[in-house]
Chains A and B, each alone.
Chain A
């Protein structure tokens, strides 16, 4: 089983061209708002707006469906649990101790919408940003260059180690390791020889990588690090940042001043 770690979808949309730092600000701002707001209508509008954002960024349908498909079981389970265990407001239907209430149902739906919206927000950033731009933006935001290097190398090596794991697993199974049909702790116990071989192989790769980096003068303190495609803020990026901060500031002010979005149904409580 191999999972694609590089989520970037090539494209030339406005979101692709927006500076990754602006996109990171967008993600931070929206995640805070999504956690604060508890209103069904606001959540629904945000979810719709996020789909429009993905549409404008030319995200293929199957990539949106991938998010929905993954989160649907969690979303439905959490909605049901919230509805059943936290009844409030008018009773719509009752069966034994189970009561379906307007309050419980609304809060459950808010919860499900929040789960989907948070994921769509994060993926709007990751679907439109290359791994190198992502790392560079974090470094430009103040993360030490060495830690940026750590992240870049980790992203580079994940597919390699997935392949190593598959290779070792198949080699061990060809020599009689029988993990098929085993479950839980028993399965993990049988997988230990695969883990040991994979980890030692990874540490050897780490040593070779360190030598290769040193041979190219990476540890030299005298050289200033440069990049092939340096990030630069365009006028549009300044504009988007200003709009984002204005919207965030206004909504935050309204939330704390008038309780905007803190009631499940009413816009102002």
Chain B
């Protein structure tokens, strides 16, 4: 169509009721996606926008749901079904949107994203001007063949349109006069696309299929340390990235203390508190680790998980980084020139996802049936979903507990499956758990789940079982202990080792007593310290001291190790002294499992999502993960 006709087409889209038309407009000396008021405002000659069009599919701030805390349990999902047309999307951003689709819709479909995506029409545009820091030409992301409804190429006096979908064709037929492109025009389009890569000043010296190998071999490359010294940890590189998808969720209450919103906002792995859990641990505390993680996620972990390099070469990160250390092109070129060749493996365990896959973000109501105080800090809650459904879970899995107005927290299930109710042991340590502590029997909480990978109960059948639990680690372990004792005949020798700080901190005291009364279970317990005159019938010393005197068959015995982060290294080293093979050790790890469905990014441990592949792991699967212990 002619340029004039093109402008008319855009104006008609704006005026006709096809949805909100979002196009690329000037913002000072740069560009941004914003609602268009007339075709004149559209700037197809832009180089790159400050933020990617992602912001219309996964907004910077989004109310996932609204609730009213003056009612027992009232929540309303906030699904945006407004129709939108995104106009002028460059090929690399089209590809980035395809990646987002894979993440948000591939498994554990996100209904908020889904509704937006379904109602969004993409009118892509071939690149006229190359952004200074882009290297799309080297990645092959400067052109695109699918993923759009229409693709336009500005040829000067005319505009060529490639039809990508039925919906695109309908729009074109309804709102414009077009003719078949001439052979000359088709050639022109082809030539433009073909010549485009040569116009990029930035070029990758290494093929993108080599990124994985390069990263596997350079985990300890000096560049991570050197560059991270200059890093402001401002998060800009992740915030402007079209393929970054991590998010945070928080509850916001209005001042009338009735209505509230659960808000999802963009988050980024460069920020210090990204991996922080309620107890205060930060799992990627060092700036170097966070700086490196971004590159590994883009170039290694996501390619392993999803099959694509999570970088489309738009150059936004490099443009926005004040110290100029965020450019993947430069990093990869450096690694290619000075490779360390020290291969580290980052396997991702193949886990059949056991948890729920639908109704992901909106909690369901459940009632507190019983509260049993265990210690100053810990309380056991018996919970029943109001729907009456029986939670189908395996020992070791967890649920997300919601208290509207306060937030959500992951809590592992402490009771054995197969009942109408389940139990949670909760330590009063963060927002949600502190609030939960004040709630009474009969009050309602929200639950999502179960999530994650539990203990492989059939895989350990017939074996001797050695439980080693420290502190709160007894909660998920108890779920498995109960299961094992309920199916006692399926297992060999059962030994339970439990350790905690002091006699007053002992959890499940009654259960420990009951288990120890059984003549086919050996229970040993210890406390780190015991005050003068305190009543205590166990050992005094660290839990590791219980292992050497133990008599067990290392080949027949499966060790289940669950406890605070510091415990693993020492316990496992004691087990190794007993010549326990790695494959006989099972661990459960704590991370910040915010969403439970492998999207928010917080629980990631190298390539692993603890909320999907964990929290229970075979030791062999994680022992070489640098970030695991």
Tell me if chain B binds chain A.
no
Task: State the B residues within 8 Å of A (CB).
Answer: none
